[in-house]
Homo-oligomer: A and B are copies of this chain.
């Protein structure tokens, strides 16, 4: 009986995950842990559960190319034979890190960056850099149209003599609002002294910190934060593959991807059955490891079929499977060629990928051929579980929805243009903000919330968001309400 119980214990240890106790740890990391295990027990405990603590890069490199999670062919000698621990990441590239500081004879930095991660995950970092997301800071902060919008949202308004004055938003408000997801600019702005058990220490004070936005500007000049999706310090692939990670930024009315997914058939299958799926398998086997896609399945992951053939390759350039850009702009349009969208200028001189009246600024956008290439890429995932008639029918609905939602936005735009013409509101001609008055904000909701929700609902088959939940109901109601505002305010001027 003893042997049996021992057997169970051994069995459970093997099945439940190795404890990583036999993997070597560097001397450097051991000296970090010595203090930090009691200072921040959660961080150390989490890391111990991570793959970084359970395999050395050298062993990881021995896996077959499909199973491998490291994308470089060779890892620096110093890092290869130990767990990837505190010191391995937080002392990398000290020269390029402006946040490097002396700490118990180590040159340490707090902000681990994509450039650091690229030591082992170079392809992923390279691909990711081609996404709009990696450039999300400049795309917001360097684009005058978005700055006008962000100011109108985040600025404090004061009131006096029946008028409001809009003040520019302060830095911390921006960090707490748009830049929470877009990423802040993290800079060393001084040093502070801390009393510790080991005596007084001097550590850098960072502005824009904490932040893990997708386009964060880092103290080493790199862009983004891998931790936005690969959450520190467990770096769980299970977590990155589940939809909650994307939901951190893609759930609100401006980009309701997760909300739509939840009520879609795919989301239903996920919610009901995901407990039985394997979220750690690499490569990821369609039908066996999972029976419905998550965000990662369609947009990122390496998928294989039952016989081991590749369905789609892994990509961290999510654009790669996206022909259309359906949110965040006034009209849905073909994806921009360059991820630096703030460089786009339309004929009217605005940093927008379409004219105000919807015509695409073609020179900055991918052409139909490239759109089709990306669509075919995406369809490979669909076809794993659906016939071609089904898939074609689905995309036919979606492209029709792109057209009609653009038309409904055009109608709202014509109303706002009339409002400016008639003097009911002040816009471009008056050199006033185009986002600060009530009717202008209704116009924004037409495209930023309603057209957009309707398109997500269509793209991912979450019907309610195309009907009543911020969908067509509001798209049609909003136009009538804009008319009422003009009627009411226009009358007042007579």
Contact = CB atoms under 8 A, between A and B. Distances in A.
Contacts of A489: 484, 487-488
A142 to B, nearest CB: 19
A263 B484 CA distance: 36
Interface in A382-418: 383-390, 393-394, 396-398, 400-401, 404, 407-408, 411, 414-415, 418
A481 interface: yes
Interface string A322-340: 0000000000000000000
Given A267-B244, A272-B236, A483-B438, A41 B472 contact: no
A463 interface: yes
Contacts of A11: 5, 8
Given A441-B477, A480-B436, A251 B239 contact: no
Given A206-B393, A463-B181, A164 B480 contact: yes
Contact of A248 (B110, B164, B463, B487): B463
A139 to B, nearest CB: 16
A155 B469 contact: no
B155 A41 contact: no
B212 A45 contact: no
A248 B264 contact: yes
A412 B226 CA distance: 40
Contacts of A291: 42, 45-46, 49, 234
Contacts of A386: 40, 43, 210
Nearest to A264: B248
Contact of A268 (B248, B387, B471): B248
A58 B400 CA distance: 47
A306 B37 contact: yes
A481 B437 CA distance: 8
B253 A411 contact: no
Interface stretch (A79-87, A172-180, A312-320): A172-180
A198 interface: no
Contacts of A415: 159
A433 to B, nearest CB: 11
A411 B485 CA distance: 22
B461 A389 contact: no
A305 interface: yes
Nearest to A239: B272
B263 A251 contact: yes
A252 B473 CA distance: 11
Contacts of A389: 110, 203-206, 209-210
B286 A271 contact: no
Interface in A427-474: 436-439, 441, 448-449, 457-458, 461, 463-469, 471-473
A311 B313 CA distance: 46
A476 interface: yes
A265 interface: yes
Contacts of A78: none
Nearest to A165: B411
A307 interface: yes
A247 interface: yes
B252 A468 contact: yes
A242 interface: yes
Nearest to A463: B180
Given A252-B469, A467-B177, A480 B40 contact: no
A396 B172 contact: yes
A62 interface: no
Contact of A162 (B263, B418, B464, B488): B418
Given A248-B463, A400-B172, A476-B157, A265 B212 contact: yes
Nearest to A253: B468
Given A245-B272, A383-B40, A438-B484, A176 B458 contact: yes
Would you list the 5 A-B pairs with minimal beta carbon distance, nearest first?
Answer: A45-B287, A42-B385, A252-B464, A180-B463, A438-B480
13 contacts: A5-B11, A42-B286, A43-B287, A45-B287, A153-B476, A157-B408, A162-B483, A209-B393, A247-B262, A438-B481, A438-B483, A439-B484, A484-B485
Given A45-B286, A234-B269, 8 more contacts: A40-B384, A42-B286, A153-B467, A164-B480, A177-B467, A209-B389, A253-B469, A488-B489
